[in-house]
Amino acid sequence: MKAFRYWFDNGSETPESQAPDSREIDWLRVVPFIFLHLGCLAVLWVGVSTTAVLVAAFLYFVRMFAITAFYHRYFSHKAFKTSRAMQFAFAVLGASATQRGPLWWAAHHRQHHRHSDQNEDPHSPRQGFLWSHMGWFLSKKHFRADYSLIPDLKRYPELRWLDRFDVFVPVTLAVGLFALGTLLENIAPQLGTNGWQLLVWGFFISTVVLIHATLSINSLAHRFGKQRYETGDQSRNNFLLALLTLGEGWHNNHHHHSASVRQGFYWWEIDISFYLLKLMHWSGLIWDLKQVPAAKRDRHMAGEAKQ
């Protein structure tokens, strides 16, 4: 069955034109997404420990950084440069967040910026909250991506492989967490954890929270917050979302100048991803960081109190 095969090999290199143009949810194909959420309920049986919560928090932070700094600011917008090895390393980390491969992610995001809040926008809020939050990527219409939008990325065979077999890295992480928990249960029983507990907290719970925090930028950040700039769409700056997503909540700023590596344009706008990217820049791991020109940052203010 084709839908079942897509659980393991999504055939990402197939052109989007061959995908059905339908908003219908392909329920068989999204079974793994549903199972990911149901897996969180196992916490009722495995319990909780400080170790498990710390592992979950650490994996949330690291993978959120991989999504916001690399999937978004690097792959989608080329806001800085890095080596091919570093590019692949963070592509793997991003893939572990179960948000598909870097090519699929970047292609849809570039499409979003071309048609923000319009009918051609993959996750336009005009189609309703649930659609903008998660219905769009569960649909048959957006299972594929327009790979003509990412010619700079699809020339890398390692990125194409990650995109096609995007389940490989998350499954490897899940198995690794179970193995680590089993090991800790035997060599450090004082930590009070085990394989099943670390799997539930470190993979299922951490991943589900991470997914919905990321998706909140598509849905909530186009509905709630303040508009500093007139961008022709409903993008908003939202302090709470910025904290939750390491800086992505400064969404109106981002739509004003999407190529900027820094989304919190002013010192009081906390942008943790940018701070970490600056550290990577100082260490020589990345370079050529693009920022919004001061003149563009400070002009055409729409009014901080506009809702």
Mind listing the pLDDT tens digit for each residue in 185-194?
A: 999 999 999 9
Q: How far apart are CA 19 and CA 205, in angstroms?
A: 32
pLDDT surpasses 50 at 307: no
Q: Which tokens belong to 30?
A: 């999204």
Q: How far apart are CA 141 and CA 180, in angstroms?
A: 39
pLDDT surpasses 90 at 143: no
Average pLDDT for 143-148: 86
pLDDT surpasses 90 at 43: yes
pLDDT for position 19: 52
Distance, C-alpha 28 to centroid of its chain? 23
Which of 163, 156, 61 has the alpha carbon at shortest distance from 106? 163
pLDDT surpasses 90 at 281: yes
pLDDT for position 30: 85
Q: Tens digits of per-residue pLDDT, 211-264?
A: 999 999 999 999 999 999 999 999 999 999 999 999 999 999 999 999 999 999
Weakest mean pLDDT among 70-74, 134-138, 195-199, 267-271: 134-138
pLDDT for position 121: 86
Which comes out higher in pLDDT, residue 304 or 32? 32
pLDDT for position 15: 42
